[in-house]
């Protein structure tokens, strides 16, 4: 690892900030309020799994020179593309509403003169403008700024608010799954560090012009830093929320309750830093999704046509990129008027979580069978973690279905 590796990290921070904004903060807060410290372990598992998934994506692209979408389009039957295309439209609709709701919650907590839906609409349109007129460099700098503020506030406050260190340690050691917690565990694991947005990492490293095997170590350090921050951040939110009453997760009062909790430990200034930081985190998440996910549709669209070509930079993207950007931003706004903004975000996290097994299977096949150089194939640890990803979601799914029926 050369001495300048840490200097050049960045795409992983964009992934971290994109995931933290909606998935981590809302799903983790709801889980902490409902089950206390019992499922804090889920934040660690989520971060660990996402690291191995994203590392596999980056390694495939840096060795093959192709995005993972290009790879599966060339090596798998056509129905895989169609499956992902349908899933991408469903996921994007849900996530568009979830991020608009999260931004609406954050802004309404600071300026209640405007409603959650109104704030959500304003932020969705602002994010569209930033993506169209901004560049990747601006995106990366925004993410670093906001994630720095939120990390400092949340980690310090979580440390000060821990009243039962034994319960925290017991959560890490026992991996308990309390009754009724399956969907919350799915939400935390699915929300930690994003889901479909993991695929955006390949396009962001292209923006940084990371190409070839020499960038694998740099990418790994980039992702280790990012997912360490993500795991600690998710744990911090759950610790703070553990002292809240479960009913606060049913409305925008959750954000106010969290900020009031902060005020008890760090004063009124800390409360407003949290509110501003929360807003920054969810808005930067929206910008990251708005900028990154249309890459996927554009790449998929190109790979489903006879004349295939790579997606290189936002400056050279076709109209399909911008049409999908508008699809993420505009139609999902109808979800803001359901009156349940927090549950929209939790549903988004659960929906996103079910993308992980699909991605795990692809990486197990592609990085074991399709990479010719043995040095860059999956190592035993990668295969074990990817396999555990599949097994965990099968277990949680069965447990949830048994609970329903």
Contact status, residue 151 vs residue 235, Cβ threshold 8 Å = no
Instruction: Give every CB contact of residue 253 below 8 A, 6+ residues apart in sequence.
Output: none
pLDDT in tens, 226-249: 898 888 888 888 887 776 655 555
Please report which confidence band the pLDDT of residue 219 belongs to, taking 50, 70 and 90 as the band edges: very high
Please report which confidence band the pLDDT of residue 404 belongs to, taking 50, 70 and 90 as the band edges: very low
- 312 pLDDT exceeds 90? no
Q: Is 320 exposed, middle or buried (0-12, 13-18, 19+ CB in 10 A)?
A: middle
- 16 pLDDT exceeds 70? yes
- How far apart CA 26 and CA 252 sit, in angstroms, is 11
- 3 pLDDT exceeds 70? no
Mapped to the 3 state alphabet, what secondary structure does 309-347 carry? CCCCCHHHCCHHHHHHHHHHHCHHHHHHHHCCHHHHHHH
pLDDT in tens, 335-370: 877 766 555 555 555 555 567 788 888 899 999 998
Q: Provide the mean pLDDT of the chain.
A: 79
- Compare 122 and 173 and report the one with higher pLDDT: 122
What is the model's pLDDT at position 244? 64
- Compare 185 and 190 and report the one with higher pLDDT: 185
- 80 pLDDT exceeds 70? yes
Please report which confidence band the pLDDT of residue 328 belongs to, taking 50, 70 and 90 as the band edges: very high
217 to 1, 3, 67, 136: CA distances (angstroms): 6, 12, 18, 22
- How far apart CA 357 and CA 401 sit, in angstroms, is 17
Alpha-carbon dihedral angle through residues 102, 106, 111, 116, given to the nearest 10 degrees: 20
What is the model's pLDDT at position 327? 95
pLDDT in tens, 29-62: 777 777 777 788 888 888 898 899 999 999 999 9
Contact status, residue 31 vs residue 39, Cβ threshold 8 Å = yes
Contact status, residue 73 vs residue 296, Cβ threshold 8 Å = no
Per-position DSSP letters for 70-106, written without gaps between them: HHHHHHS-HHHHHHHHHHHHHHHHHHHHHHHHHHHHH
């Amino acid at each position: 690892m050369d001495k300048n590796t840490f200097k050049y990290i960045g795409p992983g921070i964009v992934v971290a900030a994109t995931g933290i904004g909606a998935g981590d903060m809302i799903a983790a807060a709801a889980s902490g309020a409902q089950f206390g410290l019992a499922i804090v372990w889920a934040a660690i598992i989520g971060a660990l799994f996402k690291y191995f998934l994203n590392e596999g994506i980056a390694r495939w692209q840096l060795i093959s020179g192709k995005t993972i979408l290009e790879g599966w389009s060339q090596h798998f039957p056509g129905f895989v593309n169609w499956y992902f295309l349908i899933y991408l439209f469903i996921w994007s609709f849900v996530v568009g509403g979830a991020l608009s709701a999260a931004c609406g919650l954050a802004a309404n907590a600071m300026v209640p003169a405007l409603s959650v839906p109104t704030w959500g609409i304003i932020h969705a349109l602002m994010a569209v403008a930033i993506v169209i007129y901004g560049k990747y460099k601006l995106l990366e700098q925004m993410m670093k700024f906001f994630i720095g503020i939120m990390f400092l506030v949340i980690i310090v406050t979580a440390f000060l608010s821990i009243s039962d260190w034994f319960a925290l340690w017991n959560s890490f050691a026992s991996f308990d799954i309390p009754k009724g917690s399956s969907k919350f565990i799915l939400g935390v694991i699915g929300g930690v560090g994003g889901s479909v947005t993991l695929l955006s990492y390949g396009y962001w490293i292209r923006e940084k012009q990371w190409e070839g095997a020499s960038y694998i170590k740099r990418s790994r350090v980039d992702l280790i830093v990012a997912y360490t921050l993500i795991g600690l951040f998710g744990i911090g939110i759950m610790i703070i929320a553990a002292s809240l009453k479960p009913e606060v997760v049913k409305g925008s009062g959750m954000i106010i309750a969290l900020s009031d909790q902060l005020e008890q430990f760090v004063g009124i200034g800390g409360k407003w830093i949290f509110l501003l930081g929360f807003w920054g985190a969810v808005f930067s998440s929206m910008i990251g999704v708005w900028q990154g996910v249309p890459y996927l549709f554009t790449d998929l669209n190109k790979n489903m046509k006879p004349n295939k070509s790579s997606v290189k930079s936002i400056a050279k993207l076709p109209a399909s990129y911008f049409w999908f950007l508008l699809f993420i931003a505009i139609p999902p706004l109808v979800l803001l008027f359901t009156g349940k903004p927090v549950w929209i975000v939790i549903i988004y996290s659960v929906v996103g979580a079910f993308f992980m097994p699909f991605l795990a299977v692809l990486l197990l096949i592609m990085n074991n069978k399709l990479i010719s150089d043995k040095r860059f194939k999956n190592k035993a640890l990668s295969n074990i973690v990817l396999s555990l990803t599949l097994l965990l979601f099968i277990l949680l799914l069965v447990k949830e279905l048994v609970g329903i029926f």
